[in-house]
């Protein structure tokens, strides 16, 4: 019985490693493609933006000025897409340091508060925010920001988005939950795939980038959702006591 139990545990672990290896290989191929596309787009886009701004400075007719302003805004939107492609294709290695959860939550709420108010959504944070992580601070901010913006966009007026921190068996769990429309069961396994999105705007890289950065920092991401039940995205990291995780002998 003990051997059978150990074998089953080993098989499950091996299956997990194999799935992660296949995912990493797919991401590597997509990353090369995304980086190449971004490189081809970035320079022409910068030249177009400069031309539009030069034309706008000389334009006097209000209608044409509005059109140029709209063009400038669309160029900025495309530049954001290009930045997402670069982040996905060539993520920098994490630079880990002690990162207090409270500071991360406070900064995220400050960054999205204006949009939350405009959407009529309440945003708050709770739980054990005295916890700390040994991760890349900027990458953790990017992860939580992506998840929070997704939650805001999925939540109707009068709803709420909550950031929560807790400690379980030495692991720090961070959650971003919303009272939005939820995700259908058949889509849950696909929502973190690159370029998959149910939105009318965007290229479907925000959640993929968050997943990628989470794993690079030694964490795991899971999603619990259902139609009409809201969504909870949970990311789990080793606590601050694992500060030697970068050591090759660890």
CA atoms within 13 A on the CB side of 6: 3
- pLDDT of amino acid 163: 96
Q: What is the pLDDT of residues 175-225, one digit of tens each?
A: 999 998 888 777 767 666 655 566 545 545 667 778 888 888 999 988 898
Say how many residues make up the chain. 250
More confident residue, 207 or 247: 207
pLDDT for residue 244 is more than 60: no
Query: How many Å apart are CA 181 and CA 197, to the nearest integer?
Result: 15
Percent of the chain whose predicted confidence (pLDDT) is above 90: 27
Helix axes 2-58, 62-89, angle to 10 degrees: 150
Question: pLDDT class for 250, splitting at 50, 70, 90?
Answer: very low
Higher-confidence residue: 41 or 49? 49
Q: What is the pTM of this model?
A: 0.64
Nearest to 152 by CA among 188, 185, 111, 193: 111
Highest mean pLDDT: which of 46-50, 56-60, 233-237?
Answer: 233-237
Extract the tokens encoding 121: 């959504």
The better pLDDT of the pair 72, 1 is held by: 72
**What is the distance between the alpha carbons of residues 203 and 23, in angstroms, rounded to a whole number?**
19
Mean pLDDT score across all residues of the chain: 79
Residue 173 has pLDDT above 90, yes or no: yes
Task: Name the one residue in this structure whose structure tokens are 């959650």.
Answer: 175
For the chain, what is the HEC assignment? CHHHHHHHHHHHHHHHHHHHHHHHHHHHHHHHHHHHHHHHHHHHHHHHHHHHHHHHHHCCCHHHHHHHHHHHHHHHHHHHHHHHHHHHHCCCCCCEEEEEHHHHHHHHHHHHHHHHHHHCCEEEEEECCCCEEEEEHHHHHHHHHHHHHHHHHHCCCCCEEEEEEEEECCEEEEEEEECCCCCCHHHCCCCCCCCCCCCCCCCCCHHHHHHHHHHHCCCEEEEEECCCCCEEEEEEEEEHHHCCCCCCCC
pLDDT digits (tens, 9 = 90+) for 105-122: 999 999 899 899 999 999
Is the pLDDT at 10 greater than 90? The verdict is no
* pLDDT score of 29: 57
Asked if the model's pLDDT at residue 152 lies above 80, the reply is: yes
pLDDT of residue 99 exceeding 50? yes
Judge whether 59 and 70 are in contact, CB under 8 Å. Answer: no
Confidence of residue 134 (pLDDT cuts 50, 70, 90): very high
Written as six digits, the tokens of 208 are: 């993929």
| Cβ–Cβ under 8 Å, residues 205 and 193 | no
Residue 6: the pLDDT is 73
The bridge status of strand 160-168 relative to strand 122-127 is: parallel
Give me the pLDDT at residue 178, please: 93
Non-local CB neighbours of 130 within 8 Å, separated by 6+ positions: 100, 101, 102
């Amino acid at each position: 019985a003990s051997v059978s139990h150990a074998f089953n545990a080993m098989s499950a672990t091996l299956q997990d490693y194999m799935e992660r290896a296949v995912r990493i290989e797919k991401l590597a191929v997509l990353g090369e493609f995304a980086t190449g596309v971004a490189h081809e787009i970035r320079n022409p886009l910068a030249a177009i933006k400069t031309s539009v701004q030069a034309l706008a400075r000389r334009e006097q007719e209000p209608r044409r000025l509005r059109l140029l302003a709209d063009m400038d805004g669309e160029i900025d939107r495309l530049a954001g897409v290009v930045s997402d492609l670069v982040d996905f294709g060539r993520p920098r290695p994490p630079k880990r340091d002690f990162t207090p959860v409270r500071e991360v939550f406070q900064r995220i709420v400050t960054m999205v508060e204006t949009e939350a108010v405009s959407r009529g959504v309440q945003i708050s944070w709770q739980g054990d925010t005295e916890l700390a992580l040994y991760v890349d601070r900027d990458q953790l901010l990017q992860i939580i920001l992506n998840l929070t913006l997704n939650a805001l966009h999925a939540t109707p007026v009068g709803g709420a988005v909550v950031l929560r921190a807790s400690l379980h068996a030495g692991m720090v769990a961070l959650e971003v939950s919303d009272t939005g429309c939820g995700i259908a069961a058949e889509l849950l396994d696909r929502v973190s795939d690159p370029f998959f999105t149910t939105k009318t705007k965007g290229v479907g890289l925000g959640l993929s980038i968050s997943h990628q950065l989470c794993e690079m920092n030694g964490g795991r991401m899971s999603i619990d959702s259902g139609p009409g039940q809201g969504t909870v995205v949970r990311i789990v990291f080793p606590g601050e006591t694992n500060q030697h995780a970068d050591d090759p002998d660890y």
